[in-house]
Structure 1
């Protein structure tokens, strides 16, 4: 018997009323901190475009060439990411070896690193070991950085789908005489295509809104819609042009988000539910020649995902090729920049990320409850609303905030809580997508038993459901923290001297001349890499095993 259904006599179910009340909080939060800035941006575009044909504005801003490069580099990055991820998917999905968990940490860390740090890392790679290529900036470094950032998306989605596929059909094909490759190609691969399509659509979305990587590696010569909005708004204060580009960016991103929903509609949760219990049996210990393949794939993974960070760490103590070894970059962490030291900036970054993680966890958990317990209609609407912040470019959102804050009192504009509010918006969709499936997995009979014994819905939630999903909530909090810690797009619009985050400081240092500035940027980048890696390690430990009741 469902516990969230209207009574036969027409009276309203009290649980539905409680869920409606809970939905008010995330709705108000998203309305104030998300819809308001976007509405202000649209209103500004309407006013600025009064009497000016849209076609003329788009031509003046070179919007079509910007759009072409934005979509072209995103498509190329997506294709290359899938190719690089393919062998890693096999290793994660089919092989069980001692380093499996470390492998998942290595795969996950790049995805949650600040994009500006990734840009710095690949600048060091192409200025150092790959200097002979003569492409320290430009399209190829951008594509390589996007591969590094997004391999985790393809690996996690497709490997989970592969682990959830019943292997008996492939075994039957082998029994009927098919080779191992033919059985995979004709039986398993077609069932993985939805997962490949969904993950590729996500990668395309992320690459089309890439900001930090393009800013650092584009070297001012290559511009996407995202970076051009920032350049015109902040660099040249051409507000009307930036607004026009922002409107085009919203259209592009919403189209990409629609593509994500269409491509990822099936297969995204293929390994969840009843099939999850069979995962352990799907992975096999390597024997014989398989070990050679495992070692080769581990080397491939290290080449793409570990080597850039190792080069970054090396150059943080030797910032010039052939130059002396030095710790000047790390010593500069206690040297004031605009009256604030990088270490103090790190302190504010950790504070803002922690506040953002708490806000995202509270709002996201409430949203997950509404989606999980509110029925099909409420769940569908909640899912769509929760996805919106993920679909809108962070730079566009930051620009909208800039317009809204300009009309507010100074005390609000300079509040240190503005940055965490923006950062939490980026993390809320991730929290919902981690917590909602965990709530769905709580056995219905456990909730019904507690209700039969007289427990109120609030008590059932507090004593039954939340303890069961505690690990998922902890993982969601960890992801929210690292995503907030590395947010760069919107924060770059809003940061003041007392609210500058470490990613913004790194971007500023790279734009200033001198080896000292480069050394400081690299040292700060290494700090963020270490902080992010520790957070991902904690997340992996939290997810090491689920409570026994959830495995029933």
Structure 2
């Protein structure tokens, strides 16, 4: 990196200016609402008392401890699945992709109830298992996206020189995957640290995290000062995790070659079959709660029944729902489409800018700062963001608080970091010599991106769009505060039905979960069919 006195190059200045667009989006739709809520809490006083309370620090310890345990379990379970998706040429990988993603889209309250059926008393163990259940998909898709495009000939060369398969993996493959593993671990940790429905259902009054306590103090006790103090602690913890993750990713970067024409998948041999078997075991374990939900949707005290589906679709008794399940599904599809399109635009732009800043003469803190800022929405309470929207966005032209665009905007905040984390490791790993050769031949920066970067990163981009789409389909936190009563999404319908007594409402809730899973699986399978074909020019 050039000495600061040397000044910034024209390229660095251009990338720094380009960074203003994603930073402006974050500033208006994330920083402003969150700071508004924190300011309201600080104005009421009492923050210092909350920060010095022993109960507060017990909440911090439990939040970080359960998140660390869940992240470790998700990494252990997700790596074999990543290998299966990226390297193994075996039948059924498309179904595995769909099966892995479906748990991630389920509303957290529903997953909590599914695990509560196995652990009626709740506790720490089911909380950790349920959070890991959610996030295996993050590890499998993030690591698998990079693993699928790495040239495996370096691993084969190490094997030919006498290295055992485990040693070749540790010395060659694992360092190459370190940026993606670090990205996945950071995302999973943030999801687990801000887990809401799972902890609420399985923890009860005995085990609470910062997220559930913020909800309790904001919604039930209206203790904005205490909620503000906890939000500040949550923000500090998230920032520390992101900085550590950025440092680990930076140290783990390697000159990794991405080669579209090289052999990427092949039939497993020897010990690789053990990894494939472990991956299938993980998939089966993930499907157990899903199957349980499907069974519950057609079971009653009197036997099997489809009354829940009839009521949900409007062909029978509809209970007290304002809209049918089909209408809610269509609302989910529309908002998820808008959110994913917005997230892909800002996510890809942000990833390109981060890579551009690193390759230019810009100071390293610019790229690291933008990379860290993009992850912050994953670690801040959805309660804080939702209430922040309600007290700030009326100042914008058109009063977005009553606009249908409000929900897609909130969902895009969650999806954008996922797009960045899946695309960024691949863009970083592209051989710079390919880009330099194209530029030497007269290609403009835009054409270099279109002819070099996009073909190599295309698969990860499509995977990121599909992953973000299903995440938006199942987003519950911010949507629960912002969705209009006449336009609920499927997760909102599930939560409303779960809170109402009666067997029919319970059946309708599980039927809505089944509908959500079907829509999600169909979306994932369709995206797999539309994956970018391999390019052979490079």
TM-score by length of 2: 0.81
For residue 70 of structure 2, what is the aligned residue in structure 1?
A: 77
Partner residue in 2 for 1:3: none
Change (3 A) 1:149 1:266: farther
Residue 474 of structure 2 aligns with which residue?
A: 486
Structure 1 match to 2:250: 265
Q: Say whether 1:359 aligns with 2:355.
A: no
Preserved CA contact (<8 Å) 2:217 2:223: yes
SS at structure 2 position matched to 1:273: coil
Q: How far has the Cα of 1:246 moved from its partner? A: 1.4
Within 5 Å, give how 1:109-124 maps onto structure 2. 109-111=102-104, 113-116=105-108, 119-121=109-111, 123-124=113-114
Partner of 1:325: 304
Are the structure 2 counterparts of residues 380 and 69 from structure 1 closer, same or farther at C-alpha, using a change threshold of 3 Å? closer
Higher relative contact order (CA 8 A, sep 6+): 2
Note the C-alpha offset of 1:424.
1.0
Q: Deviations over 1:443-467 (max 9, x none)?
A: 4267537746xxx666776788667
CA shift, 1:524, in A, is: 1.3
Check the 8 A contact 2:111/2:198 in 1, yes or no: no
Shift in CA distance, 229/16, structure 1 to aligned 2, threshold 3 Å: same
Distance 1:544 1:102 in 2: 18
Deviation at residue 418 of structure 1 after TM alignment: 1.4
Asked whether the 8 Å contact 2:84–2:276 carries over to 1, the reply is: no
State the alpha-carbon separation in 2 of the partners of residues 151 and 497 from structure 1. 33
3-state SS in 1 of match to 2:354:
helix
Check conservation: 1:91, 1:297, Cα contact below 8 A.
no
Which blocks of at least 5 consecutive residues in structure 2 are unaligned?
Answer: 1-5
1:229-269 CA-partner distances (Å, limit 9, x unpaired): 112212333322222221121112222222322333344x6
CA deviation map 1:372-404 (0-9, x unaligned):
444253544432332333343433323433443
TM-aligned CA distance change 1:95 to 1:21, over 3 Å: closer
- CA distance 1:94–1:346, shift in 2 (3 Å): closer
Q: Distance in 1 between matches of 2:12 and 2:248?
A: 32
Q: CA deviation at 1:226?
A: 0.5
Q: Indicate whether 1:149 and 2:137 are aligned.
A: no
Matches within 5 A, 1:24-39: 24-39=20-35
Structure 2 matches for 1:152-551, cutoff 5 A? 152-156=137-141, 166-174=155-163, 183=167, 191=175, 194=178, 199-219=184-204, 221-267=206-252, 273-274=257-258, 280=264, 283-286=266-269, 293=274, 296-297=277-278, 299-318=280-299, 320=300, 323-333=302-312, 334=314, 335=318, 337=320, 339-374=322-357, 375=360, 377=362, 379-405=367-393, 411-436=399-424, 441=430, 443-444=434-435, 447-448=438-439, 451=442, 472-543=460-531, 545-549=533-537
CA distance in 1, matches of 2:173, 2:18: 42
Does the 8 Å contact 1:120/1:216 carry over to 2? no
Tell me, in whole angstroms, the C-alpha distance in 2 between the residues paired with 1:381 and 1:409.
30
Superposition map of 1:30-49 within 5 A = 30-49=26-45
Which whole-Å CA distance do the structure 2 matches of 1:89 and 1:350 have between them?
27
The two structures, once aligned, show a CA RMSD in angstroms of: 3.9
1:276 Cα deviation from its structure 2 partner: 7.0
Cα distance in 2 between the residues matched to 1:90 and 1:462: 29
In the TM superposition, what is the alpha-carbon distance from 1:356 to its structure 2 partner?
1.5
Q: 1:450 to 1:312 in 2, by over 3 A?
A: farther
Task: State TM-score, norm by structure 1.
Answer: 0.79
Unaligned residue ranges in structure 1 (runs of 5+): 1-7
Q: What SS does the corresponding residue of 1:301 show, helix, strand or coil?
A: helix
